[in-house]
Amino acid sequence: MFVTLPFVARELIPLMQAQGQAEEEAARTLGAGGWQIFVQITLPNIRWGLLYGVIMGNARAMGEFGAVSVVSGHIRGLTNTMPLHVEILYHEYQFAAAFGVASLLTLLALGTLAARRVIEWHVTTELGYHAVAQMTEER
């Protein structure tokens, strides 16, 4: 949590600062509650940034090796991650199994990169759409 949540915060803090609080304040003056404001206004405004931060945090967590090995005590069967499992299999001379797990980890990393690219495309498409809509409103 201490390693991956900053990736989410790094995406959300500037995004929320740029958007401001005008919509939330307007909803509060109209009588909306805290959860209602969050679900109907804040969450839709930050959805792409939140998803992007979660994907980046997930990418960091998938490759975590040192912190899990040192902090968790590396207890077999209890505190295990895929990179630690590859190490265990490799040291037990189970090369085919180690290669299989490493290949799965590689596919997950490629999937994460693809998801990141799709989110970036959606964000640029959405921003481009909003920029065009704003330009037509000004005319």
Give the torsion sign (CA, 8, 12, 14, 17). Answer: negative
Which tokens belong to 44?
């839709």
Cβ-contact 68, 81 below 8 angstroms: yes
Cβ-contact 84, 74 below 8 angstroms: yes
Model's pTM, two decimal places? 0.68
DSSP 100-115: HHHHHHHHHHHHHHHH
pLDDT tens digits for the chain (139 residues)?
777 888 899 989 998 998 889 999 999 999 999 999 999 999 998 988 898 888 888 888 777 776 666 666 666 667 777 888 888 889 999 999 999 999 998 999 899 989 988 888 888 887 665 544 443 444 4
Residue 131: the pLDDT is 47
Residue 136: the pLDDT is 43
Residue 72 CA to residue 23 CA, distance in Å, equals 43
CB atoms within 10 A of CB 113: 12
